[in-house]
Amino acid sequence: MRAKLLKTGAINLFRKASQLHHSTLLAGPDERVVCIGISRVFTIEEGLSCFDPVRADCKSHRLLVDDLQKQHIFAAAIPFDPWSQFDIIVPEVAILFSQDGQIAITSSGYSKSEVRGMLDKILEVPLTPIEACKSAPTAIYAGPSPEFRSRVNRALEVISTKELAKVVLSKSLNLTMSELPTAEELLGHLAVNRPNAYLFSIGGYVGASPELVLQSKGRQLFSRPLAGTAAAADRKALIVSHKDNQEHRIVVRQIIHRLSLAGILADSQRHPNVSSFGEIVHLGSWITGRQSSPKTLSSIELAARIFPTAAINGEPYLEALQYILSSEVERGLYGGLVGYQKHNGDGSWVLNIRSTRLTPDQLEIRAGVGIIHGSDPIQEDEEATAKINSIISSILAM
């Protein structure tokens, strides 16, 4: 069975499984996870913030944290708003593909024969070749937006009062098509066009995120925030850009500070690297930390401690969050987290960006940009537009 799964691969297994069961895919460079079926659902009414170990009332949720760590694995798509309700899904079966070619199969109380029977049926499902979209969208590319530039100007006025040091604003575009592609088709395009990104299909979103928000392995934790963006041709200019480096430092400092409040010592690399994602490049830094307390925090608790980071929210944390929630159309799952946690509390959570939301009649694409003192509304609009258009190019393969 493992040989068959390895030959099929995570992407194709997800495509097959989706035709028979509710399925999700969460794929990073070191591990790819396919969750099949639904065994149990935890509805988190108070939102991700209830898992924050620094919250005074967090102890009341300790039983929930312990219960989640008893599950073989769970997956979730978490909203940008840390107080918004979301569901945690425990699958019937999960297949984990590791970078070294190993495969682990876990299940929620099913016998080996039952799991094998389910997987045998899934592997028999035929696959059709991934092709370019059958119909063109009515609006192919995003363009300048006076409304977005006006929002940037309003944010700059608030920043000038010193109430905010940074805030992330988002811009969206809806594509209507006579025949919408499926999640499986979109994922197939992304697997080809963005192979180095974190691929996911969950909660009605399909995407290829460049940004790891939080990964935990035992007592160790890792984060790789991205802030500071340019066209690929301007790679060298990005490295020396004062504005982009300042924006990046804000993000890194905030993550390290918020972890310190939970008693976790973390540090970052001295200078950011430039990472390429198609037509766009970003400044990125690895942050590493180690838990020293007797009780190790789980990945979802660590994610709740730092999310939303200044890469998608702003600084100061609470003031930026309140500004976005009061001044922008509700983001929903965009700018939130997608990821999974295993039974030992280890897990990976990535930022839901460079993604599209599938609805019955359209694709919604959204992109954000960080606004700080000195930001130019025209340039920020152009950056948001470039991000949206890079998503369109990668998912529709036109």
Of 5, 166, 142, 94, residue with least CA distance to 341:
94
Question: So what's the pLDDT on residue 174?
Answer: 87
Nearest-angstrom CA–CA distance, 134 and 44: 39
CA dist., res. 206 & res. 395, Å (int): 9
- Separation CA 311–CA 131 (nearest Å): 34
Q: Quote the CA–CA distance of 307 and 251 in Å, as a whole number.
A: 11
At residue 135, the pLDDT reads: 52
Amino acid of residue 320: A
SS3 track for 108-119: CCCCHHHHHHHH
Instruction: Give the torsion sign (CA, 66, 67, 73, 75).
Output: negative
Q: Tell which phi-psi region holds residue 363, choosing left (phi > 0), alpha (psi between -120 and 50) or beta.
A: beta
Q: pLDDT value at position 398?
A: 43
Q: Are 237 and 379 in contact (CB under 8 A)?
A: no
Rounded Cα distance, 230 and 277, in Å: 11
Among 323, 295, 311, 322, residue whose Cα is nearest residue 354: 311
Listing DSSP states for 66-110 in one string gives: HHHHTSSEEEEEE-SSTTS-EEEEE-SEEEEEETTS-EEEEESS-
* Dihedral-angle region of residue 218 (phi above 0 means left; psi in -120 to 50 means alpha; beta otherwise): left
Give the relative orientation of helices 146-160 and 317-327 as an angle to the nearest 10 degrees.
150
Contacts of 283 (CB under 8 A, 6+ apart): 226, 227, 228, 229, 238, 239, 244, 245, 248, 272, 273, 274, 275
Element (H, E) at 144: none
Structural tokens at position 6 = 């390895």
The pLDDT value recorded for residue 360 is 84
C-alpha–C-alpha distance, residues 351 and 360, integer Å = 24
Cα separation, 106 vs 34, whole angstroms: 11
Angle at 51 between CA 50 and CA 52, to 5 degrees: 95
Residue 298 confidence (pLDDT): 96
Position 305: which residue type? R
Superfamily (CATH H level) for 146-396: Anthranilate synthase (3.60.120.10)
Residue-level pLDDT, tens digit, the chain, 398 residues: 889 999 999 999 999 999 999 999 999 988 999 999 999 999 999 999 999 999 867 666 888 999 999 999 999 999 999 999 999 999 999 999 998 889 999 999 899 999 999 999 999 999 877 665 555 555 565 667 899 999 999 999 999 999 999 999 999 988 887 778 888 888 888 888 887 899 999 999 999 999 999 999 999 999 999 999 998 889 999 999 999 999 999 999 999 999 999 999 999 999 999 998 878 899 999 999 999 877 789 999 999 999 999 999 999 999 999 999 999 988 999 999 999 999 999 999 999 999 999 988 888 999 999 999 999 999 999 999 988 888 887 776 54
Q: What is the Rg, in whole angstroms, of the alpha carbon atoms belonging to the chain?
A: 21
Residue of 396, 397, 326, 300 whose CA lies nearest to 86: 300
89: tokens are: 């899904």
352 near 219, Cβ under 8 Å? no
pLDDT attached to residue 252: 97
Q: At how many degrees (to 10) do helices 146-160 and 377-396 cross? A: 130
Ranges of each domain in the chain: 2-123, 146-396
Contact, 166 vs 372, CB < 8 A?
A: yes
